[in-house]
Every structure is written in C-alpha cells, then in structure tokens.
Amino acid sequence: MQNFDILSNPTNCVTMSSLRNKLAANDCKTVLPFLCITENIVLVKEKRSWEEAFEHCRSLGSSSDSNPHFNLLSVQPGNEHTYMTEEITEADTDEVWTALHFLGDEWLWINGADMLYTDLPQCPSRRQHCGALLKNNTGTLEARDCSERKNFLCYSYNP
C-alpha cells in the first residue's frame, strides 16, 4: 500500500475507488461522490434508481462471513423514523431510497422486517413501487417511481 503524506502536499486528498477498493491521491478541489458513515448506517450521496441503490448497498459487503454485509435500510415509524430523517439532512436529494418495495399485492421490506406503516397506497400506480424517506419528516414513507434517481441509505449487519 502506498503511503500518502497529506501534510507535505495539502492539495492531495485520499480517495477510494468503489470499483477497485484502491486508495489514490487526488486534488482536494475535485468534486466526487462520498459516503457518510454514522454507526452502521451509510448515506450514499449518489443519485441512483432504486435497483441501482439496492445493488450498490449489496456490493459494499464482503464475501467473507466474518465481515459486515450491507443492504438498503428499513425504517420503522416513530422514533426510528424521526432519527433517520435527522441522519439524511446531508442528502443531495429531497428524498432517499429505503428498502421498501411493493411486490405482488403488498408493501414489503426487502430484509424481511415487519411492515408497520399503514398509510401507503394499497394499490400504487404501476411505476410507484418503491419507498422513499422524505427529508422533511412527515412521519411516513412515500411511494415513488423506482427509476427516479435519489440518494439512499445502506446499513451494515453481520449475518
């Protein structure tokens, strides 16, 4: 691994390639997407469709059983919902993707968590089958077109 002496050259910042997991020196003025890690929650400030967000979260994990795995985040009503809206204030989009998806004839969390929200549409339009968390805490999630491009929340867990 290459050593980086940032103090001797303040125009260099360290970046990590998400494709190759390699560190590199870059000019600090270069604007790049980044991750904000809070506890085991990751706010990904890249605009992606719901499916792309799902795949990105999954790609953050390791194939090793001893390392954490990642998935899109599920959120429950109440204090947890309020906490998550506070965590997404730095998002570049007004809404962020969650793990909520309409499959068959019901809303489900892709990680199998209990579905406690009762105010989602029982029969959403054909394209609005994905759930987003709004930055302005309304206390609920919104059904959105899965192809819309939004920031998203991933969380780490050990299987």
CATH number where 45 lies: 3.10.100.10
Same domain, 66 and 108: yes
pLDDT value at residue 34: 62
Q: What angle do CA 52, 144, 50 make, to 5 degrees?
A: 10
Same domain, 3 and 68: no
Same domain, 152 and 116: yes
Query: Is residue 52 a contact partner of residue 65, using CB atoms and an 8 Å limit?
Result: no
pLDDT confidence tier of residue 66, bands split at 50, 70 and 90: low
Tens-place pLDDT, residues 29-40: 877 766 555 468
Domain encompassing residue 5: 1-32
pLDDT value at residue 6: 43
